[in-house]
Amino acid sequence: MAKAAKPKFNEKDLTKGQLRKLTALRKSVGPVIGTKAFGDWLNSQAKAPKETVDKNAERITDTLNGLVKSNKLRIPRGGYLVTRGRGRVIVSRIKGG
């Protein structure tokens, strides 16, 4: 009997779909070949893209945080809606309820 293949991945970190694929491969071609095939498939998959940072939102946040910390600005619960107008920025309070 062949030795069990040591997977190069942690089964606890796999998603539900990936576990189904691994189980199906192990059932169809055997545990050794199935584990190796799944490991090769998993390595060939594109990694999840990093979350892109919106530079404009970051700049607005940095500016407003400085004003809030210096007690020059108070943002009420619910916040404000910031939209663009024709050559201007429109800030309106969000109506509750």
Interatomic CA distance for residues 27 and 40, integer angstroms = 17
Quote the DSSP letter at residue 46.
P
Interatomic CA distance for residues 80 and 92, integer angstroms = 6
Interatomic CA distance for residues 58 and 47, integer angstroms = 25
Q: Where are the domains of the chain?
A: 11-44, 55-93
Quickly list H helices, 1-97.
Answer: 16-29, 31-44, 55-69
Secondary structure class of 88 (helix, strand, coil): strand
CA-CA-CA-CA torsion for 5, 10, 11, 16, nearest 10 degrees? Answer: -130
What pLDDT is recorded for position 27?
95
pTM: 0.45
Alpha-carbon distance values, 62 to 1, 18, 36, 55 (Å): 63, 40, 48, 10
pLDDT reading at 4 higher than 80: no
pLDDT reading at 51 higher than 90: no
pLDDT reading at 95 higher than 90: no
